[in-house]
Structure 1
């Protein structure tokens, strides 16, 4: 269980890392995905390490940072769709919008504190193996710190607004896979509306403890 929680935190932190720097740098739409990730990670790690409040674990400050910077530069709708699997198409447009919003809030509230854990980590960037016409790529990196090296992969899609991160993989575990079974179980027991309520209740619970 500790290993799973650690993996989940790294996944969420890397998602925040990518999103935050994207906002700060405002990259050009033609920026290649590997160059984008390198710019993103380098910039945000520098920014977080220089912010005393984030280093102290100031949750409202971190949540505010993530709210402003993660939403415009990641495809949370795509992330939610993947986590829902076949059930996504069975949901109404209104339910899809609700699920996307609540899932975004869940990720933010559950893992916002992970940014404050950035200390002396560095990142090694792997060469991208892709062709210019590819619409989806995986950018591979390795996080180096005090413990063992941690492989960390970013899955991106090419949109009309540039490349966007929509999933993360660490040590063989994709973010959306970590939630897929849980979502499927909720829908099986209580339907799509039951999943919406589950996410809403969970977000209220997390908000009351922050």
Structure 2
């Protein structure tokens, strides 16, 4: 279940079209940030055969350097936990966020290995300079098949940050909310931590 739900979020790195933009995107705007990150990641991956082959060390470094600074994983985790977030102690909240982030990073390997000739179409963004929350709507074309993918971003003191992604009408945080809620109901907050830790160990062993 967790692996299936992660796939949409991870395809953020599979957009090739933005790498060929004629005008450099403005990362100070939400749509510009999405385009800039995509372009940067694509050019890096296309120049590195090891990453295309799924080298977890290089991919982890790429994610930490180019993607994590532009994402708010704590907000993503908080929304996914829903009302259960307040049931967790500050230390548990930190653990859940870190394990969730580790899981996302490890799963990036599969998505990055698939980067080839995908293209992306950006729909016009009609936000204003006063907006503090934005949704950027795009469509990814992979082998002729269009896939809806939208991003939610918030404006912070450090700039715009991505905190949610929608694929084919399903927001990642909403998909996780049900799963996390079930686990908390059966095993408590510690159950979520253990589930994420177990999955991370499985992925680590699979790569070793």
Q: Answer whether TM exceeds 0.5 for this pair.
A: yes
Corresponding residue to 2:11 among 10, 13, 16:
13
User: What residue in structure 2 maps to residue 124 of structure 1?
Assistant: 121
Shift of 1:131: 2.3
Task: Quote the Cα distance in structure 2 between the aligned partners of 1:115 and 1:151.
Answer: 19
User: Counterparts of 1:107 and 1:15 in 2: how far apart (Å)?
Assistant: 12
Post-superposition offset of 1:170? 1.1
Equivalent residue runs for 1:159-198 within 5 Å: 159-198=156-195
- Gaps in structure 2 of 5+ consecutive residues: 20-24
Tell me how far apart the structure 1 counterparts of residues 59 and 122 of structure 2 sit (CA, whole Å): 26
**Structure 1: tracts of 5 or more residues without a match:** 22-26
> How many Å apart are 1:191 and its aligned residue?
0.5
3-state SS of the aligned residue for 2:124?
A: coil
| Match status 1:77 vs 2:95 | no
Of the structure 1 ranges 106-115 and 163-172, higher mean CA displacement relative to structure 2 is found in 106-115
2:147 pairs, out of 146, 150, 159, with 150
Matched ranges for 1:35-54 at <5 A = 35-54=32-51
* Displacement after TM superposition at 1:206 (Å): 1.4
SS in 1 for 2:79: helix
1:120 is displaced (CA, Å) by 0.5
Q: Give TM-score, length-normalised by structure 2.
A: 0.86
Relative to the length of structure 1, the TM-score reads: 0.85
Give the aligned CA root-mean-square deviation in angstroms.
2.4
In structure 1, how many angstroms separate the alpha carbons of the residues matched to 2:190 and 2:13? 27
CA gap 1:49/1:15 in 2 versus in 1, 3 angstroms: closer
Q: How many residues align?
A: 198
